[in-house]
Amino acid sequence: MSPTAVLYVAQAIHGLAYGMLLFLVASGLTLIFGMMGILNIAHASFAMLAAYFCFQVLQMTGNFWATLLIAPLFAGICGVLTERFLLRTVHKHGHLAELLITVGIMTLILELVKLFWGTESLVVKIPQNLSGLLKIAGLTYPVYRLFVIGVSIMVLGFMALILYKTRLGKIVQAAVSDADMVSALGINTPLVFMLVFGIGIWLAGVAGAVAAPLLTVFPGMADQLGMDAFVVVVVGGFGSLLGAFIVALFLGELNAYGIQFIPRLAPVLMFAFMALVLAFKPTGLFGERQ
């Protein structure tokens, strides 16, 4: 293959890896929004929290695989507690209060992270067998990015299986379209809400933990990941998983090629794309409601 073609393919895989990470974060965000009507501003903050947990657990145990399991789980537990004790309390004051409480949580997580781990970037080391380069069909590629793509696909496949093949998944799907009706049918929706919130945060946590070696762990991580995830959810349409998937991959590629060709405008491209979509379809590409 010619060097330019290699570059193109490498950027494509870069974009794919970032797009998958983005979708891990955005899928939880869009599910939570679809079901509970809460736009969780703190979503990416939980991903960042998981990344810090990843750093901490790795330091204590030294086992990367165990870390990858434990860190998102901790984040998920934090999410469940948040839902139970904060969001449910303000539920009666409406969506705006819920939105604002997530703003407060975002600030708190940011400050706590700074308090415990400081403001400098922390490096998470990748284990030996993931840190090499892989040669496929004439181009070398870092194994870890392929690993990220693999993990994302695995987690998402698993989630899709639950969502579309189990009873719980059916309940969740029904609750996304009409939570009141599901509640009226005798299903304990608060419990389902708590579960979905926890799982959404867990997904974000997986993204955060997996991204930790890639992006390095620092307090600005949530801003970067969060804005991109919001754009994905808004453009894809609130509550639409398919929309989030397509837009996440598209944005990942847009980002990768944007950085290569017009580095100064790369972040602007994303927002410009969003403005363009919203100008013609305020509900997002695949959404049915605002």
Partner 1 sequence: MRDKLCKWILWGVVVILVAILPRLVSFYYLNFFIAFAIFSLYAVTLNLLLGYMGVLSFGHAMFFGTGAYAAALALTHIQGFSLLPTVLVGGLAGGLLALILSPLLVRVSGTAFAMLTLAFSQLIFVVALKYREVTGGEDGIGGYPIPPLNIPGLVSIDMTDKINFYYFAIAIVAICIFILWFYTKTPFGSLIVGVRDNALRLDYLGFNLPQTKAINLTVCGTFAGIAGAVHALLMKLVSTVGVLDINTSFAPIMMAYIGGVGSFFGPIIGSAVLHILEDVVIRFTERIGLVNGAIFILVVLFAPMGLVGLFGTAKAKLFHRERAS
> Binding residues for partner 1, per CB under 8 A?
33, 37, 39, 86, 89-90, 93, 95-97, 99-101, 103-105, 107-108, 110-112, 114-115, 223, 227, 230-231, 234, 238, 264-265, 267-268, 271-272, 274-275, 278-279, 282-283, 290
Report in angstroms how near the CB of residue 140 gets to partner 1 at its nearest. 32
Report in angstroms how near the CB of residue 193 gets to partner 1 at its nearest. 17
Identify which of residues 61 and 107 has a Cβ nearer to partner 1 in the complex.
107
| Distance from C-alpha of 268 to C-alpha of 159, rounded to nearest angstrom | 32
**Angle at alpha carbon of residue 204, lines to 193 and 266, rounded to 5°:** 130
Positive or negative torsion for Cα 66, 67, 68, 74: positive
Identify which of residues 144 and 230 has a Cβ nearer to partner 1 in the complex.
230
Report in angstroms how near the CB of residue 148 gets to partner 1 at its nearest. 25
SS3 call for 140: strand
Identify which of residues 69 and 100 has a Cβ nearer to partner 1 in the complex.
100
Report in angstroms how near the CB of residue 107 gets to partner 1 at its nearest. 3
- Residue 137 makes CB contacts below 8 A (sequence gap 6+) with 1
Identify which of residues 16 and 241 has a Cβ nearer to partner 1 in the complex.
241
- Residue 28 makes CB contacts below 8 A (sequence gap 6+) with 43, 199, 200, 201, 202, 203, 204
Query: How many CA within 13 A on the CB side of residue 58?
Result: 21
Identify which of residues 8 and 273 has a Cβ nearer to partner 1 in the complex.
273
272: its two tokens:
């410009």
Report in angstroms how near the CB of residue 125 gets to partner 1 at its nearest. 30
**Quick check: 147 and 130 in contact, CB under 8 A?**
yes
Report in angstroms how near the CB of residue 82 gets to partner 1 at its nearest. 10
CA-CA-CA-CA dihedral for 222, 229, 106, 278, to nearest 10: 130
Report in angstroms how near the CB of residue 31 gets to partner 1 at its nearest. 15
**Quick check: 262 and 268 in contact, CB under 8 A?**
no
Identify which of residues 202 and 238 has a Cβ nearer to partner 1 in the complex.
238
Identify which of residues 37 and 150 has a Cβ nearer to partner 1 in the complex.
37
What is the end-to-end Cα distance of the chain in Å, rounded?
A: 46
